[in-house]
A = this chain, B = another copy of it.
Amino acid sequence: MLAERFGGRNSRLLKGIGDDTSVSSQKGGAALLATTDILIENTHFKRAYIPPYLLGRKALSISLSDIAAMGGEPLFFLVSLALTPGTPKKFIDELYRGLGDVARETGCVLAGGNTAKAGMEMTVSTTVIGEAPVKRVVYRKGAAAGDLVFVTGTVGGSALGLKALLSHDGLALKRVPWKDSVKKHLDPAPRLKAGQALAKAELATAMMDISDGVALDLKRMCIESRRSAVVYLSSLPISDELKAYGEKTGKSPFLDFALTGGEDYELLFTSPEKNLRKISALSRKLNLPMTPVGRIMGRKKDRVITVLDEDGEPMELKKLGFEHF
């Protein structure tokens, strides 16, 4: 069944669907990247608001985002579906259509999978295998004191989108306000080209994707790099829509969304200040903002992340970010 839906081919994949495991050829000298994610109904999504097509897209995109964060190129993916009884065939078809479209867009080929029966909650588990030249893989651990901290695109939009979806329960998707943010939440774009270009040009000393908010993920990067960091709150790049939301509601789009909101799937990376011009050029070339938002400092025992407000004063934060668990 699966084999018919996914016509994609990859000369490296010797055998995909239809055997006990996928079989692919290896390239000596290249690093193999492997990552797995699981999306659970009612924890990570509700069927009430995410169309199955977008659920399929998102399930693959979030794993591809991890490959992007290493500067890698995706090769193939495996998917495990656990479906609740009575799930309509149309739903499953749409979910696979979403997986298939992202697969085609990114050159990532379906190599295997299985379907099982769930009781109350559906789950979609994806594994993506990718690769990169060994010496160009970008880890979380390479941030050096003095490096600038960058983020791609805009942040906080996904959190606004989720909020809009949850507070308009039952409304048809096209009638939910804050559409760009809703799209950002439901259909995040893995930053594969940006990650690969940064790695290839050796511009990123450390890199990861932002899944749980800039503050929390930067903290994780600092811990791996044994460094600390400052973040300039009002430097965080936000969308026009999030800005408008802030103005309309009086809430801080920076503090409540951009700094601590989850699931943006943008890239967070560090680079020495001397690369600023090259990064600007790359950003223009890719038509993707790459905004400096902070700086890496020396190792610190506590308060790994310091957030400075508009006056340059350190802020007291209740929480750093979004944690599913």
Whether B139 contacts A44 by the Cβ 8 Å rule is no
Min CB gap A15→B, angstroms: 6
Interface size classification for chain A: 35 or more
Cβ-defined contact, B35 with A25, below 8 A:
no
Q: How long is the Cα–Cα vector from A69 to B125 in the complex, in angstroms?
A: 23
A38's contact among B23, B42, B66, B114, by CB below 8 Å, is which? B114
Choose one: B27, B36, B224; the contact of A19 (CB below 8 Å): B224
A20 within 8 A of B: yes
Residues of B within 8 A of A66 (CB): 20-21
Assess whether A21 is in contact with B130, with CB atoms less than 8 Å apart: yes
Binds B, one of A115-123, A148-156, A251-259, A299-307: A115-123
Contact between chains at A40 and B137 (CB < 8 Å): no
- State whether the Cβ of A98 lies closer than 8 Å to any Cβ in chain B: no
A26-B31 contact, Cβ under 8 Å, with A44-B116, A82-B123, A125-B80: yes
Measured between beta carbons, the chain B residues less than 8 angstroms from A308 are none
The distance in angstroms between the C-alpha atoms of A35 and B129, with both chains bound, is: 11
A32 to chain B: closest CB distance in Å? 5
- In angstroms, how far is the closest chain B Cβ from the Cβ of A50? 16
- B residues within 8 A CB of A127? 34, 36, 78, 127
A80 adjacent to B37 (CB under 8 Å):
yes
| A70 at interface, CB cutoff 8 A | yes
Whether, in the assembled complex, A187 has its beta carbon less than 8 Å from a beta carbon of chain B, the answer is no
Which residues from chain B contact A29 at a C-beta distance below 8 Å? 26, 28
Contact with B along A57-85 (1 / 0, CB 8 A): 00000000111011010001011101100
Residue in B closest to A125 when the chains form the complex, CB atoms:
B125
Closest to A128 in B: B21
Q: With contacts A116-B324, A118-B121 known, is A35 near B18, CB below 8 A? A: no
| B208, A20: Cβ atoms closer than 8 Å | yes
Q: Does A147 contact B (CB under 8 A)?
A: no
Closest B residue to A12 using CB positions: B32
Q: Which of A198-219 contact B (CB under 8 A)?
A: 208-209
The residues of B that contact A38 with a CB separation of less than 8 Å are 80, 82, 114, 116, 123, 125
B40 and A32 contact, CB distance less than 8 A:
no
Q: Which residue of B lies closest to A118 (CB)?
A: B40
CA distance A34 to B35 in the complex (A): 12
A288 at the interface (CB under 8 A from B): no
Given the complex, which residues of B lie within 8 Å of A27, measured CB to CB?
26, 28
Digit string of A129-173 for contact with B (CB within 8 Å is 1, else 0)?
111001001011100000000000000000000000000000000
Q: Pick from B32, B76, B111, B121: contact of A26, CB below 8 A.
A: B32
Cβ A28 vs Cβ B31 within 8 A: no
CA gap between A42 and B139 in the complex, in Å: 39
7 contacts between A and B (CB under 8 A): A14-B137, A15-B137, A21-B72, A32-B129, A34-B78, A40-B117, A127-B127
Q: Which 7 A-B residue pairings sit nearest by Cβ, starting from the closest? A: A28-B28, A26-B26, A21-B35, A38-B80, A20-B69, A20-B66, A120-B120
